[in-house]
């Protein structure tokens, strides 16, 4: 029984803490024939990676640098989808996971940019056409907006995952006190919300990957 509404997002359990195994459970679900023979699932996977490669190639201006962002997108999307199954822990609803993805990426971009393109990074702090009197304020604003980037990436992903799951949990808990007619409406509403959550799972992973590519393109 849940002690409170947020206990479904608690990574620890009273007896055995195996919740974080949901990060690797996809490796058990994907059958071995997926990797061996051409199949519809394999074809869909290839089409998706080709589409993502074309999208990210435009933003990164490189042909070989897209593999990292494609892997990032697929990792987040799979973990988002796994959280929609009953009794499977949603790992991407925790800041410890989302920050573990966003912070190393941002740090890598910053170290690379300030080491190899120092003048370019300084030029980013002052937008073109800024009056002289506003330059110190613009430097402060741009610096703060740059520092909070990994936090906004992590919070956006985890907040969207938590919001949909909480809404589904709230509606599910209300089923005990409803009439038969109301339960039918509730089931239809939850089905619609579940489809919406599937869309959010794809959209949020895409947004995370796209913003990461945009941040990487700024340091080149």
pLDDT tens digits for range 31-89: 666 666 677 777 888 888 899 888 888 888 766 678 889 889 988 998 888 888 877 77
Range of the domain at 152: 5-218
HSE, CB side, 13 Å, CA atoms: give it for residue 218. Answer: 20
| Domains of the chain: total | 1
Whether residue 208 is predicted with pLDDT greater than 90 in this model: the reply is: yes
Whether residue 164 is predicted with pLDDT greater than 90 in this model: the reply is: no
Euclidean distance between CA atoms 216 and 51, whole angstroms: 19
pLDDT of the residue at 203: 93
Euclidean distance between CA atoms 77 and 44, whole angstroms: 15
Range from 45-54, 124-133, 198-207 that averages highest in pLDDT:
198-207
What pLDDT, in 10s, does the model give residues 81-121? 888 887 777 888 888 889 999 999 999 989 988 888 888 88
* CA angle 77–168–90, rounded 5-degree value: 35
The angle, 0 to 180 degrees and rounded to 10, between the axes of the packed helices 67-82 and 95-116 is 170
């Amino acid at each position: 029984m849940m002690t409170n509404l947020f206990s479904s997002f608690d990574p620890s359990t009273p007896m055995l803490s195996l919740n974080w195994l949901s990060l690797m459970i996809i490796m058990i679900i994907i059958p071995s024939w997926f990797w061996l023979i051409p199949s519809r699932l394999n074809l869909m996977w290839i089409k998706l990676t080709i589409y993502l490669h074309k999208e990210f190639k435009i933003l990164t201006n490189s042909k070989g640098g897209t593999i990292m962002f494609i892997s990032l997108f697929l990792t987040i999307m799979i973990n988002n989808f796994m959280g929609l199954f009953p009794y499977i822990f949603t790992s991407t609803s925790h800041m410890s996971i989302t920050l573990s993805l966003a912070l190393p990426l941002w740090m890598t971009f910053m170290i690379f940019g300030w080491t190899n393109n120092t003048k370019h990074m300084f030029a980013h702090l002052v937008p073109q056409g800024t009056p002289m009197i506003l330059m110190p304020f613009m430097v402060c604003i741009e610096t703060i907006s740059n520092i909070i980037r990994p936090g906004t990436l992590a919070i956006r992903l985890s907040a969207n995952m938590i919001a949909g799951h909480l809404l589904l949990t709230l509606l599910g808990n209300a089923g005990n006190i409803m009439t038969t007619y109301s339960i039918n409406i509730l089931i239809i509403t939850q089905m619609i919300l579940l489809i919406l959550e599937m869309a959010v799972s794809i959209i949020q992973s895409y947004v995370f990957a796209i913003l990461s590519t945009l941040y990487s393109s700024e340091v080149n």
